[in-house]
Structure 1
Amino acid sequence: MKLHFRYRVILSVCFTKLSVLMYRKYGIFIFFCSLVIVALLLAACNTKTSDASPTLKTPPSTLSPVAAGVQRLIVLPDDGPDAVLELIDGAQKSIRFKIYLLTYYDARAALIRAANRGVDVRVLIEKELTGGGASNAESYQILQEGGVHVKWAPKTFRLVHEKSLVIDDLQAMIATYNFTNSSFSRNREYAVITTQPDVVADVATIFDADWSGEGILLDKKTPLVVSPENSRQRLLQLIDGANASLWLEQSTLLDDEIVERLLTAVNRGVAVRFIGPNRGDDDVAYENLQKLADAGADVGRLGTPYVHAKVILSDDSLAFVGSENMTFSSLNLNRELGIVTKDKAIVDRLRDSIIQDWKHVKQVTSTVVLSTPEGVLDWEEAELHVGQVVTVEGKIVRGYDSGKVTLLNFDQDYHNTLTVVIFPSLYDQFPQPPARYFDGHTVRVTGEVKLYEGAPEIVIESASQIEMLDAPSRASASADVSTRAGPGIDTSKLDAENGADGISWQKAGDYLGQEVAVKGEVVRTYNSGKVTFLNFDQSWKGKFSVVIFASDYPKFPESPDGFYLNKTIVVTGTVKEYKGAPEIIVDNPGQIQIVEGDGTSRDLVTPAEHGGVVAWQDAAAYVGQTITVEGRIVQSKDIGSMTFLDFSKQKNSFVAIVWADDYDKFSQPPARLYANKKVWITGEIVLYKGKPEIIIRDPRQVEVFD
């Protein structure tokens, strides 16, 4: 029988305590007899049976569901080194640290501090680095002289490439990164921090086995992915099990079997996305990346940050994070460690990070020449022709101008359906701003269908690519009612009913496609977080609504759902139909007037009425008001869930905040985009824990001056 290491320790402690009690009660002779019994029992526990492996320790792991709050994801370089250094500095009893490359001064210093305060620090480090081991030799000597127990990794493996840390047998870190300056400051890296007891115990047991030069046996249910024992099998299972999507952010792609399984996934309809580092023409993995792109996968190469990550996200529900590269050596010859988790917080943050990185990749384009379909397609067919030049036709139901780009959509579900994209350099080729000009009209668009964040789009590079098939009802700049109604429309009914205050909301459905003023009392509002609905009847389904999208909230002095509730308003705009009900989309507070009790109306207060631009130091004097604040961003920090734009390094001073949900509206990560820039920021001043701040929900709220 060979008893597990942890159980031998527990047995030893128990019998030692028993021996002390025997000594106190019966004297020294009985005490020594007890010690002999302890030694014999422990020896028996180590006896090997004839059919047992002489070098195996067996982790007792079983894969149990991940409990809430026991795992979290570190994202580098966003989070910086503090989270990891705090783990080391917080150790009270023991540290097990296994690493391929260690040159980071602060990490070495933290390990030595821990040893000096009595923590049992053991470091297992690779000696034979690819390209030479001088850096690790220096770290080995520094740690050893500092009182740390350090060993060279066993030669059982080609390389010990694992990056793991176990603190006090209570926390474990499983990472993609080495402990170097570039890892914490320039690389895209990830790590899972877990307190799940069986996982922590397994990582510790693997360390102990490698420390003593023994082997391991893995439970089939373990969430750990370990080379050379099970990495290939587990990663192939993860790839083969994907049904809808498979996203990989990897430092390389050289394993033939992995490539074949990814191609198979593409062929069975899985949306495969691969992000790797941009190594230029010297990338030995480029041939495999091109194979994926030719098969229909989204493949991109990222310049900054440098991709050293090794992660997979399957079906937006299962995540792998580890040290395993997609190479034969990594999967079959090295010591590597990773973990598969379904923890929602980890999955969500990993997905958001990959989405952000994809926005900045240089995409690998397919070399396959596709035939162009003949004739005009319905816009809904565009997604079937990615990579092809097609002509599509449909009605634009939503036009949105962010200030940096115009998006024309054929469906209100614009996140998942075809979008026509027009950049400002082309605006002067149209008689009006494109968002307004094409909104509500049937168009025919010709261009190459591409994917952006999984949705099809056609980018317009010339006005000749888009043709309006119905006459514009707003071609004239005249504001009289007959012109707004459009050519060929009998306006006598509109003239009679419109009057000075507008038509009744109940009659709005009679004026589809026309620009009118509609009057009524708002008796119900609903804010979904993405859109606000103003309703004029409690039984709102199938009846007229006013629609305000979240991207336009900052233009209003208060949240529209609360501001307009129980008020009588006159709203001006084009009446459209959505799912059988009439609506007007409002993208500017100037479209809405509030009718006072005496029948007069007033416009919404605008920022200009608060005296123009104020210095950031004076922002606290305008709490509850929408103003424009002026200053220079002296510090910007992205913590993953939000970005802080600080105008001073002093606490409790004014700050602007951008939530992670809005990052995709900006051309670059906000922390980078606005760093050290002089800006005007417009929005409502609110207090959070006594500190004034503005929430930036749209880049149009910010004007940069340098």
Structure 2
Amino acid sequence: MNSGISSMGHQQTLLVMPDDGVEAVLNFIAQARHELRLKQFKLESEAVEAALLQAQARGVLVRVMLNPHTSGGDRWNDAAFERLKAAGIEVAWTSDSFPVTHEKSIVVDNTAALISTFNLSDKYFTETRDYGVITYAQVAIDQVIAGFEADWQRSFFSPDLSIGLVWSSFHSRGQMARVIDAAKERIWVQHPKYVDSVILERLITARNRGVKVRVLCGGKHGISDWDIYDTFSSLRIMEGAGVKVRRQKHLKLHVKMIIIDTKSALIGSMNIDRSAFDIRRELGIETDAPEVIARCVDFFNFDWQQAIKYSPPDPLDPASHEQGELAPDPNFIHD
């Protein structure tokens, strides 16, 4: 794990999955002495649940919000919800103001917040490329807490967009576009879904003004049937515009990260997806801490070298969609 100070004076630490593993998350939870807030799309890790119970046993006030169901109707969190409730932990479903809460955050003692792309499930600690950023900046921690409390109380939340956090709904498309527009030399994108024409246009415009753009995608793996057409079409359009596209295969690609000029990055829960921008609760974070960016760059370069050049298939030719793909996994869907 690398720690550094951003240009805004924010101390940040980067977690990388699967390299840092579940132990990094358990160690973070173990730091709690007074209060712990957890908001999560998917909680299936026995180790994480045990860490929450241990925190409660040492007197920590633990509150957990879990997303009730996916956009497809799967209720992954029912078992964890009932176990935590039976153990006396305060647990609630996420706000029904959003059809899905895809945010993945943990706040410890009002002194540190983890904002991640990974779910709290063993698969995401062992099989997927994912990232998390721990911030120790009080202004950012206070805002994550404010978002938690608003969703817990079912009240409206209006974040300050100037402090380096990226929120959905309402705001994240514009924030991501601003990040892309700032690129002068290169943009490296590591995302699974490409289902938003505004961001697609921004990436192509960057390429047209001479920015070197690399896109590391996951091919079809984990993409729902209704997102295949847009994702394949977007990748084909970018390839035609001179964007270099590769498909990651040595690990399942779940991370959502954009690196700008190898100097800054946007990491968060939101896919490049209309519903992620417009209707879901999502959370991301910007970073330019040199040590954090250096590790992001190192891992992107490693994944890029491990990947292969990818020519996305015709979305209207289903027979070509499975060529070279990882085996389907019904429990690995980019919601």
| TM-score, length of structure 1 as denominator length | 0.42
1:87 CA displacement: 1.1
1:365 CA displacement: 4.2
Instruction: Give the structure 1 partner of residue 240 of structure 2.
Output: 294
* Identity score, percent: 34
SS in 1 for 2:76: helix
Residues 411-447 of structure 1: CA distance to partner in whole angstroms, max 9, x if unpaired?
xxxxxxxxxxxxxxxxxxxxxxxxxxxxxxxxxxxxx
Instruction: Give the structure 2 partner of residue 535 of structure 1.
Output: none
Instruction: Give the structure 1 partner of residue 14 of structure 2.
Output: 73
Report if aligned partners of 1:294, 1:366 keep a CA contact under 8 Å in 2. no
Instruction: Give the structure 2 partner of residue 350 of structure 1.
Output: 296
Instruction: Give the structure 1 partner of residue 214 of structure 2.
Output: 273
Q: 1:87 to 1:220 in 2, by over 3 A?
A: closer
Q: Quick one: distance in 1 between partners of 2:305 and 2:97?
A: 42
2:117 is aligned with 1:176: yes
2:179 is aligned with 1:238: yes
1:362 CA displacement: 2.1
Report if aligned partners of 1:300, 1:358 keep a CA contact under 8 Å in 2. yes
One-letter identity of the residue aligned with 1:301: R
Q: Quick one: distance in 1 between partners of 2:312 and 2:191?
A: 20
Q: Quick one: distance in 2 between partners of 1:305 and 1:261?
A: 28
Q: Quick one: distance in 2 between partners of 1:219 and 1:201?
A: 11
Report if aligned partners of 2:44, 2:121 keep a CA contact under 8 Å in 1. yes
Alignment of 1:6-17 (within 5 A): none
Report if aligned partners of 1:153, 1:160 keep a CA contact under 8 Å in 2. yes
Instruction: Give the structure 2 partner of residue 315 of structure 1.
Output: 261
Report if aligned partners of 1:290, 1:364 keep a CA contact under 8 Å in 2. no
Compare relative contact order (CA 8 Å, sep 6+) and give the higher one, 1 or 2: 2
Q: Quick one: distance in 2 between partners of 1:310 and 1:65?
A: 22
SS in 2 for 1:216: coil
1:324 CA displacement: 0.7
Match for residue 115 of structure 1 among 45, 56, 71: 56
One-letter identity of the residue aligned with 1:226: W
| TM-score, length of structure 2 as denominator length | 0.87
Report if aligned partners of 2:264, 2:288 keep a CA contact under 8 Å in 1. yes
Residues 349-373 of structure 1: CA distance to partner in whole angstroms, max 9, x if unpaired?
1011100000121212499xxxxxx
1:330 CA displacement: 0.2
Instruction: Give the structure 2 partner of residue 102 of structure 1.
Output: 43
Alignment of 1:105-144 (within 5 A): 105-144=46-85
Aligned length: 303
Q: Quick one: distance in 2 between partners of 1:153 and 1:352?
A: 35
1:134 CA displacement: 3.5
1:116 CA displacement: 1.9
Higher relative strand content: 1
Q: Quick one: distance in 1 between partners of 2:107 and 2:29?
A: 9
One-letter identity of the residue aligned with 2:205: T
Q: Quick one: distance in 1 between partners of 2:160 and 2:72?
A: 35
Residues 220-261 of structure 1: CA distance to partner in whole angstroms, max 9, x if unpaired?
412110001310110010111111101110121111111111
Alignment of 1:181-200 (within 5 A): 181-200=122-141
Alignment of 1:259-270 (within 5 A): 259-270=200-211
1:204 CA displacement: 0.9
Report if aligned partners of 2:69, 2:76 keep a CA contact under 8 Å in 1. no
Instruction: Give the structure 2 partner of residue 87 of structure 1.
Output: 28
One-letter identity of the residue aligned with 2:65: L
Q: Quick one: distance in 1 between partners of 2:26 and 2:95?
A: 26
Q: Quick one: distance in 2 between partners of 1:365 and 1:120?
A: 51
1:66 CA displacement: 3.6
Match for residue 277 of structure 2 among 331, 334, 340: 331
One-letter identity of the residue aligned with 1:200: I
1:135 CA displacement: 2.6
Report if aligned partners of 1:94, 1:121 keep a CA contact under 8 Å in 2. yes
2:149 is aligned with 1:208: yes
* CA RMSD in angstroms, aligned pairs only: 1.7
Alignment of 1:311-460 (within 5 A): 311-365=257-311
SS in 2 for 1:132: coil
Q: Quick one: distance in 2 between partners of 1:335 and 1:271?
A: 31
Q: 1:229 to 1:134 in 2, by over 3 A?
A: closer
SS in 1 for 2:16: strand
1:109 CA displacement: 1.1
One-letter identity of the residue aligned with 1:361: A
Report if aligned partners of 1:77, 1:184 keep a CA contact under 8 Å in 2. yes
Q: Quick one: distance in 2 between partners of 1:269 and 1:77?
A: 34
